[in-house]
Structure 1
Amino acid sequence: MQWVFLVIAGFFEMGWAIGLKYSQGFTKLVPSVFTILGMIASFYFLSLSLKSLPIGNAYAIWTGIGTVGTVILGIVLFKEPVNAMRLGCIGFIIIGIVGLKLVSPS
């Protein structure tokens, strides 16, 4: 179950990172509230996963999920640039996430 919590935490991280863009520096109320709630939820689910996962692996995987998802959402939602180098870097992050999962206990 700790891996499920970690994935949920990663998805909430994507949500609050995108929410930061929509909140425009916390000047828009509704996006700001959702961003803060996403932060709280992300940290909560991360903390649940840390009950049994090593902190180093869990933190790296959590940020990796958030990073990859945020880059992809940035491309889709905000028309951020797509090029081979950027996609290659995302691929390396995914390889790192999978690798850490494979070497993690439980």
Structure 2
Amino acid sequence: MSWIILIFAGLFEVLWATAMKQSDGFTKLWPAITTVAGMVASVGLLAVAMKSLPLGTAYTVWTGIGGVGAFVVGVIFLDEMLSFTKILAAGFILCGLILMKMGK
């Protein structure tokens, strides 16, 4: 169950990072509110997951989901540049996340 909670924490990290970009430096109200709410949810779920997962594993997976997720959202929805190097980097991060899960 902790792993599922951790995945949701990472997804909320993607949400708040995306909303922060859309808030235009916290000058747009609803994206700014979404950013703060997403941060609270993300960190709160991370804290719950850390009750039974090791710190290094939980934090690495949380940031990895957030990083790769934000990268994917940026490319698909925000017209950010895609390159072979960026895809390779995201792939390495995903491999690292899988290895962290396997190592528990």
Q: 1:8-60: CA deviations, max 9, x gaps?
A: 00000000000110111111111100110000000010001000000001000
Question: Unaligned regions of 5+ residues in structure 1, if any?
Answer: none
- Partner residue, 1:66: 66
| Structure 1 runs, 4 residues or longer, greater than 4 Å off | none
- Partner residue, 1:97: 97
- Partner residue, 2:57: 57
- Partner residue, 2:41: 41
Identity %: 42
What is the deviation of 1:78?
Answer: 1.1
What is the deviation of 1:83?
Answer: 1.1
- Partner residue, 1:17: 17
Counterparts of 2:102 and 2:62 in 1: how far apart (Å)? Answer: 15
Counterparts of 1:85 and 1:29 in 2: how far apart (Å)? Answer: 35
What is the deviation of 1:77?
Answer: 1.2
TM-score between the two structures when normalised by the length of structure 2: 0.98
Aligned residues: 104
TM-score between the two structures when normalised by the length of structure 1: 0.97
1:89 partner amino acid: A
Counterparts of 1:101 and 1:77 in 2: how far apart (Å)? Answer: 29
Counterparts of 1:97 and 1:88 in 2: how far apart (Å)? Answer: 14
Question: RMSD value over aligned CA atoms?
Answer: 0.5
Counterparts of 1:81 and 1:28 in 2: how far apart (Å)? Answer: 25
Question: Unaligned regions of 5+ residues in structure 2, if any?
Answer: none
